[in-house]
Amino acid sequence: MSYIKILLFLLFYTVLPIQAQQMKQLPHLKDFEARLLQEAKKIKSIESNFTQIKYLDVFDEKITSKGTFYYKKNNKICMDYAQPMNYLIVINNNKLKIVSDGKKSIMDLNSNKMMSQMQDMLTACMVGDLSKMSPGYILEYFEDDRYYLIQIKPVNKAIQAYINRIQIYLDKKDMSVHKLRLSETETNYTEYEFSDKKFNSLKDEAKFTIR
């Protein structure tokens, strides 16, 4: 299995199409982009609980996992799964570490151009910083009373083979990511919902160590 498939399978594997039609098209895109960029610049670190729901149509069941999400500038992400089993994913710049059942594997994300794009996309989606997105995506913007929805579709055929679409829900109160959904197909999806978020309080960088 290629590194791209491993990264997507372990981290996402992802989103049932959202009912974007229930939300209205965002009318003032420049104001939204300006605020999003302003808020993203303030974020140095994030700590948050998360709930992951993964649906695979081949089994016709949802699998729920829970854990803690950590982010620190620049390009440092840790997803520490606690339920139903201990599992760890760490991204630190161009390295990816996975620890499962006590077994550790480390991969180089700069091994090819697509892996580098996937890393940028991952950081952009998890944190809501769209400045890290490469130009190979079509973005649509929607809103309701509580959330903004950014719907992202890849243009590159090679990336389309792994990702059908991405949907990011931003909380209007602070522009943080409330929910993240990625679709590999129209039916297989993973959804992440973030709660109890803390900003700019993370001091310990040991969680991002890869060796």
With 80 as the cut, is the pLDDT of residue 9 above it? no
Residue range 85-114: mean pLDDT, rounded: 85
Structurally, how many domains does the chain consist of?
1
Domain that holds residue 178: 3-208
With 80 as the cut, is the pLDDT of residue 85 above it? yes
Residue pair 129/145 in contact (Cβ under 8 Å)? The answer is: no
pLDDT of residue 16: 35
pLDDT of residue 12: 43
pLDDT digits (tens, 9 = 90+) for 11-59: 443 333 444 558 899 988 889 888 888 888 888 999 999 999 888 777 7
Alpha-carbon gap, residue 154 to 184, rounded angstroms: 11
Residue 12, domain CATH: 2.50.20.10
Alpha-carbon gap, residue 133 to 120, rounded angstroms: 6
pLDDT digits (tens, 9 = 90+) for 142-192: 999 999 999 988 887 877 777 888 888 999 998 899 999 888 777 888 889
Chain position carrying tokens 């803390």? 198
pLDDT of residue 118: 66
With 70 as the cut, is the pLDDT of residue 89 above it? yes
Residues whose CB is less than 8 angstroms from the CB of residue 40 and which lie 6 or more positions away in sequence, other chains included: 127, 128, 129, 131, 175
With 80 as the cut, is the pLDDT of residue 86 above it? yes
What is the pLDDT confidence band of residue 195, given thresholds at 50, 70 and 90?
very high
Alpha-carbon gap, residue 67 to 85, rounded angstroms: 10
What is the pLDDT confidence band of residue 114, given thresholds at 50, 70 and 90?
low
Q: How many CA atoms lie within 13 A of 52 on its CB side?
A: 26
Q: Residue 143: how many CB atoms within 10 A of its CB?
A: 17
Q: List the 137-143 sheet strands across, edge first.
A: 24-25, 137-143, 147-154, 165-171, 177-183, 189-199, 45-56, 61-72, 76-83, 87-92, 95-100, 103-108
With 80 as the cut, is the pLDDT of residue 87 above it? yes
Q: What type of residue sits at position 53?
A: I
Residue among 12, 122, 42 at smallest CA distance from 77: 122
Q: Residue 47: how many CB atoms within 10 A of its CB?
A: 18
Residue 16 is classified by DSSP as P
Q: What percent of the chain has pLDDT over 90?
A: 29
